[in-house]
Amino acid sequence: MAHSIVPPYLLARLAETDAEGLQRAALAARRSLAADPPLRAERQREGVFVPSSVVLDAAEPGMASFTGLAGVTEPQRTISDAEGRERLPGTVVRRETDGPVDDVAVNEAYDGLGATHALLLEAFGRASIDGLGLPLDATVHYGEDYDNAFWDGERMVFGDGDGEVFGRFTASLSVIGHELAHGVTQYTAGLVYEGQSGALNESFSDVIGALVEQHRLGQTAGEAGWLIGEGLFTAAVEGRALRSMIEPGTAYDDDVLGRDPQPADMAGYIETADDNGGVHLNSGIPNRAFALAARAVGGFAWEGVGAVWYDAMTGPLDERSDFAAFAEATLVASDARFGAGSEVSSAIAEAWRTVGVRSDERAD
């Protein structure tokens, strides 16, 4: 199962529209829903996929190990062009150290991969998504008016959008960081992509997507907008982004797409069989917990609450962990990193209480 940035319920709304001027978008949405993003080598429950060029060592979970790929810690990027077809990888158009080309999508993908690599290495000491210097590959111009971007277990894949509702998917740095973060989860906790564990999988990707953008811009938690997919919608859409981490349920409110359905706390938790048990819906709850805690602590989010979330995801986390289990993991990780009773631990505990995941009065 490939992980896509645009949830199926949003594409379904677009596919059903007969609104004037959106015929191309409706057709593109139908094609995007019908397309089966190819599964290349995603982590399955039996174990973790490892490309043949990489040999895992005995490094502690979450710790950078530079024995893979001859100790490479610099990014190793390759961008390919699918030329409007649904075949991967496409034709290589830019490699590491190559200068910019005339194709803006190629350059955006290249820069976005580099920005994600920089956050992982500089903030968390992680060499690429696997911690071992895994080369970062991406394909642009996938499909015809393809309204999505996805991580297929081996590479990033970007559509160009339909031009009426969605623009090109390389234009959003948070989207690139989000999708590559599915690779980090793949190589660490391997959270099962359904129900609450799947929502945590989605939420961690939103966290990394937001942090990549903030790290690149040098933004503090207070300065950040906490939007995922900002800039994807065209001017025809009444909306700011696909999701808001700080205010779930407010990212868009559009006549065609409907209103952002994400709940902001457990009181609004959505029980559904769709969307793999609501992975793109209920992810708003842990998203808000993260953003609230980061704002309460202040400063650069990747140095405080972001580091805790990374420690929790790369620690001894069960692949079917629910929200409560992950919340406890973040509190344990925060105490270990910053000390029991620290400002960070207190902010995290309060954030989980605010969204209704924890009700205890933890001794801080």
Residue 360 lies inside a defined structural domain of this protein: no
- pLDDT tens digit sequence for 99-144: 999 999 999 999 999 999 999 999 999 999 999 999 999 999 999 9
Which pLDDT does position 306 carry in this prediction?
A: 98
**Please, what is the end-to-end C-alpha distance for the chain in angstroms?**
40
Assess if residue 40 is contained within a domain. Answer: yes
Q: How confident is the model at residue 358 (pLDDT cuts 50, 70, 90)?
A: confident
Output the average pLDDT for the chain: 89
Tell me whether the omega of the peptide bond preceding residue 89 falls within 30 degrees of 0, making it cis.
Answer: yes
22 belongs to a structural domain: yes
Query: Does the structure show a pLDDT above 70 at 93?
Result: yes
Active-site entry in 179, 202, 213, 247: 179
274 within domain boundaries: yes
Establish if 105 belongs to a structural domain: yes
Total domain count, the chain: 1
User: What average pLDDT does range 149-177 have in this prediction?
Assistant: 96
User: How high is the pLDDT of residue 293?
Assistant: 98
Contacts of 320 (CB under 8 A, 6+ apart): 191, 192, 197
179 among known catalytic residues: yes
Percent of the chain residues topping a pLDDT of 70: 88
Asked whether residue 194 carries a pLDDT value surpassing 70, the answer given is yes
Q: Which amino acid is at 124?
A: F
Say which residue the tokens 């642009």 belong to.
Answer: 140
Q: Examine residue 361 and state whether it is found in any structural domain, yes or no.
A: no
pLDDT at 73 (0 to 100): 86
pTM score over 0.85: yes
Exactly one of 3, 117, 182, 280 is catalytic; name it.
280
Q: Give the residue ranges of DSSP H helices in the chain.
A: 8-15, 23-34, 104-124, 173-187, 195-217, 275-278, 284-297, 305-313, 323-338, 343-354
Query: Domain range spanning residue 305?
Result: 3-354
36 Cβ neighbours under 8 A, 6+ residues apart: none
Residue 49 scores a pLDDT above 80:
no
Q: What is the CATH number of the domain that holds 240?
A: 1.10.390.10
Question: For tokens 């065609």, what's the residue?
Answer: 256
Q: How high is the pLDDT of residue 68?
A: 41
Nearest to 355 by CA among 203, 233, 217: 203
pLDDT digits (tens, 9 = 90+) for 11-23: 999 999 999 889 9
CB 150 within 8 A of CB 169: no
Q: Per the domain annotation, does 363 fall within a domain? A: no
Cα separation, 280 vs 125, in Å, equals 28
The two three-digit tokens of residue 363, written as one number: 């001794």
pLDDT digits (tens, 9 = 90+) for 211-250: 999 999 999 999 999 999 999 999 999 999 999 999 999 9
Answer whether residue 269 is part of any domain: yes
Give backbone dihedrals phi and psi of 263, rounded to 5 degrees, phi first. -80, 155
pLDDT-based confidence at residue 175 (cuts at 50, 70, 90):
very high
Cα–Cα separations (whole angstroms), residue 114 to 117, 125, 307, 320, 354: 5, 15, 20, 31, 35
Q: Is 292 helix (H, G, I), strand (E, B) or coil?
A: helix
- Largest Cα separation within the chain, whole Å, is 58
